[in-house]
């Protein structure tokens, strides 16, 4: 896994971030989702390096081998704003002040916060199988509550920790053949660590409280993503079934938006690495969309 990549443990104030990195050329940061680690990118990151990019894959604060501060009642230490600050600090440590981002699942929430809080640091951003947290919460239906009930279970104090750590293998259902054995082994070590489990729950608790408040403040202020934005969603997952066209939702948040579905389940980096790598490479090396191209794309999309 990650042949030719370096590894480092970067101290960034109240957090310690494990990171993998390699390559020459324009930098791109890959942010994993729940309950994965940076190892989820092991089939994608080398392809992006081969395409001419410097690729940086951190474990999010509290996930994998990264560690955060003590837990607090307001969950601020595990907010997307705090995790975004970690990523900026790691990239500066590695010598990069401006970079591209791709975030999957919870990593997409971090990518959104980073892009809104640090617009000068982000050259372009890709969101993989995710929406802003407030867009999910404003569309709660019986179907959403049935399929995404774990969001609200994770928010309960104490109980989810006891349930998950009692038998983490049964709870998380990893598949070494689908994930790749080394990725699976790293993920399994992490999910069997009670500190990691608690930190992952804090991620979700922050999502329903302080992260929601931050997104609502952005909406009230009219803050939008100005850089080129790519939206990808998994055709074998439920995002489009629940909400319709993800691009239409993301246009509420970003100006230069393009995107498509990918024939994959939710963990697209593991299940469709060739298609994802190719699509990300095309986006990272493409020109921004002009206003004329945007109008034509929107007309075609409505048609």
The verdict on residue 1 lying in a domain is: no
Residues in a beta bridge with 8: 19
The verdict on residue 270 lying in a domain is: yes
Going by C-alpha positions, the residue among 234, 219, 224 that lies closest to residue 270 is 234
- The rounded distance, in Å, linking the Cα atoms of 149 and 37 is 23
**CA dist 298 to 127, 139, 155, 291, Å?**
19, 23, 38, 10
The verdict on residue 194 lying in a domain is: yes
Q: What is the pLDDT of residue 288?
A: 66
Catalytic residues: 105, 266
Instruction: Report the phi/psi class of residue 43: left, alpha or beta, with left for phi > 0 and alpha for psi in -120 to 50.
Output: alpha
- The rounded distance, in Å, linking the Cα atoms of 243 and 102 is 22
- Sheet with 6-12, edge to edge strand ranges: 6-12, 15-22, 54-58, 27-31, 99-104, 122-128, 229-234, 257-262
Q: What is the pLDDT of residue 287?
A: 78
Q: What is the pLDDT of residue 294?
A: 55
Residue that the structure tokens 């729940």 belong to: 34
Q: What is the pLDDT of residue 301?
A: 45
Q: What is the pLDDT of residue 289?
A: 60
Q: How many domains does the chain have?
A: 1
Going by C-alpha positions, the residue among 94, 3, 6 that lies closest to residue 47 is 3
Domain of 181, in residue numbers? 6-302
Radius of gyration of the chain (CA): 18
- The rounded distance, in Å, linking the Cα atoms of 188 and 290 is 45
3-state secondary structure at position 29: strand
Look up the CATH number of the domain holding residue 269.
3.40.50.1820
Q: What is the pLDDT of residue 205?
A: 98
- The rounded distance, in Å, linking the Cα atoms of 169 and 191 is 8
Q: What is the pLDDT of residue 295?
A: 53
Residues 201, 161 contacting (CB under 8 angstroms):
yes
pLDDT digits over 101-129, tens only? 999 999 999 999 999 999 999 999 999 99
The verdict on residue 118 lying in a domain is: yes
Residues of the chain with pLDDT under 50: 291, 299-303
Q: What is the pLDDT of residue 182?
A: 97
3-state secondary structure at position 51: coil
């Amino acid at each position: 896994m990650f042949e030719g990549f370096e590894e480092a443990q970067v101290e960034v104030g109240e957090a310690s971030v494990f990171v993998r990195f390699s390559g020459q050329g324009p930098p791109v940061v890959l942010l994993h989702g729940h309950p994965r680690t940076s190892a989820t990118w092991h089939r994608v990151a080398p392809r992006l390096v081969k395409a001419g990019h410097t690729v940086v894959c951190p474990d999010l604060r509290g996930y994998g081998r990264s560690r955060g501060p003590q837990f607090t009642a307001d969950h601020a230490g595990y907010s997307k704003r705090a995790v975004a600050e970690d990523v900026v600090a790691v990239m500066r440590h590695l010598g990069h002040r401006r970079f591209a981002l791709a975030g999957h699942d919870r990593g997409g929430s971090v990518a959104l916060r980073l892009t809104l809080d640090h617009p000068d640091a982000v050259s372009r951003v890709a969101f993989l199988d995710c929406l802003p947290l407030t867009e999910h919460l404003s569309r709660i239906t019986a179907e959403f509550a049935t399929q995404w009930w774990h969001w609200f279970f994770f928010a309960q104090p104490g109980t989810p920790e006891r349930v998950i750590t009692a038998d983490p293998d049964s709870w998380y259902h990893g598949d070494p053949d689908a994930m790749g054995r080394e990725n699976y082994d790293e993920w399994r070590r992490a999910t069997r660590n009670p500190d990691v489990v608690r930190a992952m729950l804090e991620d979700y608790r922050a999502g329903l409280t302080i992260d929601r408040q931050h997104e609502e403040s952005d909406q009230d202020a009219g803050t939008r993503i100005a850089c080129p934005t790519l939206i990808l969603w998994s055709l074998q997952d439920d995002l489009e079934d629940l909400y319709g066209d993800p691009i239409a939702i993301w246009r509420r948040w970003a100006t230069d938006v393009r995107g498509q579905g990918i024939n994959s389940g939710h963990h697209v980096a593991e299940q469709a690495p060739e298609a994802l790598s190719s699509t990300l490479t095309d986006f990272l090396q493409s020109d921004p969309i002009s206003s004329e191209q945007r109008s034509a794309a929107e007309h075609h999309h409505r048609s």
